[in-house]
Structure 1
Amino acid sequence: MKVYTKTGDAGETSLLSKQRVSKDHIRVETYGTVDEANAAMGLAKSFVKDEATAALIEKIQKELISLNADLATEYTAADVPARITPEHVQRLEQIIDRLEEKRIPQNYFVTPGSSSAGAAFDLARTIVRRAERCVVRLKRSGMIPATVPLYLNRLSDLLFVLARCVEQEELVQTLTRQVLTVINSTPATREGGVTMLEKAKKIIEAAEKKAVEIKVPMVIAVVDAGGNLVAQHRMDGALIASIAIARDKAYTAVALQMPTDQAALQTLPGQPLYGLNTTDGGRLVIFGGGYPIYENGAIVGGLGVSGGAVEEDMAVARAGLAG
């Protein structure tokens, strides 16, 4: 059987229910728009690396074929039940709920394009929205199953959440790769035989001197390039809570390869890393007092200081690095 049939050369096509209609009929435009969305979802699937997400998309693509069969059928009150059922709609809602539990909240308008997969999901989402609008027009002139517009509405919401989740996962993977690169490229012993522990002791001594000078008991922590604790010092009277905070500030400075006060600016509402502090079990600290430790232009560890006001923590940390 040839791909071309020539039956549509006059500008008409056949519905699944056998009626002949014009190719610009609203019913044809509607299921054609759904077909566009299906193709855009296929593009997104080609970018996705997670097998479970790819399998989810493929299942939905097959359901869209059934939905298009509903759209290509001129229903009457005596017709058979629709192919898309309330159970299909409910399943999409359950998937959205599961994904929302993992997603970092975003209280700002999203600009698509942070990742290839995310952009493709956003493209599919906008096409589904257009299909929804087509369904509204179609309902004025023809009968369609009540589940069809509900399914399309939930699908557009699901695609939005999926786009944000894949972008979030890609950000985490990028940060992980950066940390691993530092770990794999940093030797345990520096030039001249100076170990990271020796360097940590020197930094802690200089930081403590500054803390004594400003009369604020501090906790000072130094980690290596992998975020592992090398040495930690708690001055008499320093807050117990500062033990974990200082260590996590040092870890954050290494993980993000930037001072924690700079990370704070990037995680404000509307900024690209908003909500990042909720990842990694809440270990990422986004207020001042954490700094990467550099040697010959490379990050070899991190320093974290806690115990005073943010400005005091930063001053003590800078004194430690300078010493």
Structure 2
Amino acid sequence: MNVRALAMAACIGAAFFAVGYVWNYQPDAINPDEIWSMFQSEHRKARAAVSRILVEPHSAHFNGLRTVEADKATYVCGSVKAMKSGGQYADAAFVYTVAIDLPRVDDDGRITLQHSTYKPCPTAAGGKIAEQQTLVSPGALSVIKTVEKIIPKSSGGTMEQQLGQLAGQTAAVAPGSAVAAGSAVLSGSTGAGSAPAGQHSSSRVEATRESELTWRADQPPAAWPAFPSGHSVTKSTPKRTAAEALAFAKDIEARWEQSKSSGIPTKRPSPEEIKEACRALLTIDPADKEYPRAWAAFVRLRKIDREMAA
């Protein structure tokens, strides 16, 4: 038996157990960026502040946290998945203002006890996310990458199950090295057009139909993804203002949630109504200030459409 490898695996397992117990954090995979996030003071404050206003604080699962410096203030942006009062889970973007300890969650009251007006994550000064200093050696970061490759991505499960994977598969890692964290830099998604001056101007990845399953509500691309002629969302639709389109989409989402929580099929919106709401959102110009909200609603509606089809 390789005693040194076993001892290192036990230490890594104990560290993850402690983090999960103290900060209620259960990662879907061994991700060095997420590990580093757990040790950032602003990120810890953001997790705590968001958890305080959740309906079920202990169900919170955070993802994609990054620190942004803009307008002479510091923000922590990311997303949280938590349980609603009905027992189902929902994802929502959030922005935490560090100076005043204020979290804003884009959930329309689905997973939070108190709802504040949501403002999308501000654009970092110079179009860059605030850099975080890496306080670990290159050798330690190399070990992180090795661990990430040899441990398969988890489909979820409890912390105990993930620790079991970790303890059983880290024997191949070189002994004597410590696991530490790397810097977290999270890029957004862009569309095919030129980026307008707005929240999504610093995006770098194109949002395509092929990558739809990876779209995130809190990462609007610079332009809407292109759909082929004849697709259900490219049909003509009555002219609506941005406010009307957003209200239409919100009504569809509310009816969908009511049908799931009450079990009454008559409350459920029809597939055509969902597609009509998507078409309405697509008429909102990416340069419009409401575009980030429209993108978030569009991503949620497309997910509802897939769930109904399944």
Give the alignment's TM-score, normalised by structure 2: 0.24
Larger relative helix fraction: 1
Give the alignment's TM-score, normalised by structure 1: 0.23
Larger radius of gyration: 1
